[in-house]
Copies of this chain bind each other. A is one copy, B any other.
Amino acid sequence: MSEQPANPADDGDVTRADSLAREIFADVANKWALLIINVLGERTLRFGELHAEVGGISHKMLTQTLRVLERDGLVERTVHPTVPPRVDYVLTGPGQALRAMVNGMCGWTRRHLPHIEEARRRFDADRSGNA
């Protein structure tokens, strides 16, 4: 990520690593993935609990996003062969490291909520004036 001065000597691998980083970043930098990581917090949650705690996410998107996170090794999925079935999700080490940042973002959102709300009003007011 970030700046690559594009050293002419070491081509062919920097770019590969960079595109991979982009890919991973895209996996993680979306609304649902971040919300899931956030609610997963420290403790293990079942599929249904996740569904309830995230709120507003469809059954499909939840499984889908969870698979991506599982594939990237951010969450661990444990299937208990009981009936009815029970599946637990828990953050891995890297997942928890990421969660710290996501938590920061959530805190940021809460802290700056008034500021942003006002910024929006001003912005919207300005463009009504000279439409």
A residues adjacent to B (C-beta < 8 A): 1-3, 17, 20-22, 24-26, 28-31, 34-35, 38, 53, 56, 70-74, 94, 97-98, 100-101, 104-110, 112-113, 115-120, 123-124
Contacts of A101 in B (CB 8 A): 101, 104-105, 108
Contacts of A38 in B (CB 8 A): 1-2
Please indicate which of the listed interface residues A28, A106, A116 has the most CB atoms of chain B within 10 Å of its own CB.
Answer: A116
| SS of A interface (majority) | helix
* Residue pair B2, A120 in contact (C-beta under 8 Å): no
Q: In the assembled complex, how far is the CB of residue A88 from the closest CB belonging to chain B, in whole angstroms?
A: 18
Given contacts A71-B119, A104-B101, A123-B71, contact A26 B21 (CB under 8 A): no
Tallying the copies of this chain within the complex gives 2
Contacts of A110 in B (CB 8 A): 1, 21
Q: In the assembled complex, how far is the CB of residue A87 from the closest CB belonging to chain B, in whole angstroms?
A: 16
* Residue pair B115, A70 in contact (C-beta under 8 Å): no
Give the distance in Å from the alpha carbon of A36 to the alpha carbon of B113 in the complex. 21
